[in-house]
Amino acid sequence: MDPGLYIAASGMLAEQVRQSQLANDLSNASTPGYKSDQAEQQSFGSLLLSNTSSGQQIGTISTGVRISKVVTDTSPATLNQTGEPLDFGISGAGYFAVRTGSGIRYTRDGQFGSNSTNQLVDQQGNLVLGQNGQPITVSSKGTVAPTALGVFNVPNVTKQGTNYFSGASTGRASGTVRQGELEASGVDPIQTMTDMMASLRAYQAGQSALQSINQTMQEDASSVGSIQG
């Protein structure tokens, strides 16, 4: 089997993963506190080539690529003013904590509201927690003091979907809570669209390579059949 088939196919599979990641980022370009991802590719390794008659080494050829890992850029983004009393943003490092059905999760999305019992909740209805790990009460005026919200230091967070992260908190972070502000999405739409087009071109190049190799193999097979006939 021509090794070029495996090389081209592995590249196409890697670009499919990258396309999905970029599409997800683009769909969250306006999601407060969203953090973008970057897919890292890694070579499977190289194959040593040699002359089949003499055994002399010719060189090496790559055996393909794969997505080794997806890295999330957790850098703080710009805070935008909204004027809403239950919108909060963190200036600097740290995460808000919410209590979900799967345990404590962390987020930079401070677009909060209140439930039927006047407790501060996120957009999914999960309780937002103070630094002491307890729910926060919304006042009769529909407000919450910024200092009531916890700001947690969570090293090495892992994305969990729905704009949540998991991890182990090591205490209070250095960030400051700002009321009436929301953190912008960490996605650069223009750069993401540029990356998507580059990924698509790479996928199409692999597709063209597969078609060329397949055509060459068919022609070789036909030639062998003609010679034997």
- Claim to verify: residue 90 and residue 176 sit in the same structural domain: yes
Same domain, 195 and 100: no
| pLDDT (average), residues 163-190 | 97
Whether 204 and 134 share a structural domain? no
- pLDDT for res 47: 46
Provide CB contacts within 8 A for 88, sequence distance 6+.
96, 110, 112, 146, 149, 177, 178, 179, 181, 182
Range of the domain at 101: 79-183
Confidence of residue 160 (pLDDT cuts 50, 70, 90): very high
Query: Are 166 and 95 in the same domain?
Result: yes
- Angle at which helices 3-27 and 189-228 cross, to 10°: 160
Query: For 22-65, what is each residue's pLDDT tens digit?
Result: 999 999 999 999 999 987 766 555 544 455 566 666 555 555 56
Q: How many domains does the chain have?
A: 2
Q: How many residues does the chain have?
A: 229
Could you report the per-residue pLDDT of 185-223, keeping only the tens digit for each?
Answer: 999 999 999 999 998 898 888 888 777 876 776 766 676
pTM: 0.77
For residue 93, give both structure tokens: 């490092």
